[in-house]
Amino acid sequence: MTFANMGTWMERAACRDADPELFFPIGATPAPGPLRAAQRICGRCAVRLECLNYALETGQSAGVWGGTTEEERRAMRVEALHAARA
């Protein structure tokens, strides 16, 4: 995914008009309610995989991307590193 392609999928994202605080909460631990609300929006998004791939490829460590939390993406990156070494 390149930055040139980023605008295309972002324009189609279900979250484009949502409150950014749902996806980038203030504080160390997101509250369960807003986190679930963000993940519900992601769950109906046509570009969820593009969003997740962008987050993984660019190392996005904050917020909800493609329906995943920071911890979930961190685990995905660790798993990918282990698979690459095998």
pLDDT confidence of residue 6 = 58
Where do we find the tokens 């324009």? 11
Q: In terms of Cα–Cα distance, which of 25, 43, 46 is closest to 34?
A: 25
User: Is 15 annotated as a binding-site member?
Assistant: yes
Rounded Cα distance, 46 and 72, in Å: 20
Report pLDDT digits (tens) over 7-37. 689 999 999 999 999 999 877 666 788 889 9
User: Is 84 annotated as a binding-site member?
Assistant: no
User: Is 33 annotated as a binding-site member?
Assistant: no
Mean pLDDT of 40-44: 97
User: Is 45 annotated as a binding-site member?
Assistant: yes
Phi/psi at 68 (5° precision): -105, 150
pLDDT confidence of residue 86 = 74
Mean pLDDT of 53-78: 94
What's this model's pTM, rounded to 2 decimal places? Answer: 0.83
Structure tokens at 22: 């749902």
Domain that holds residue 77: 3-85
**CA dihedral of 7, 63, 26, 6, whole degrees rounded to 10:** -10
Q: How many distinct structural domains can be found in the chain?
A: 1
pLDDT confidence of residue 28 = 66
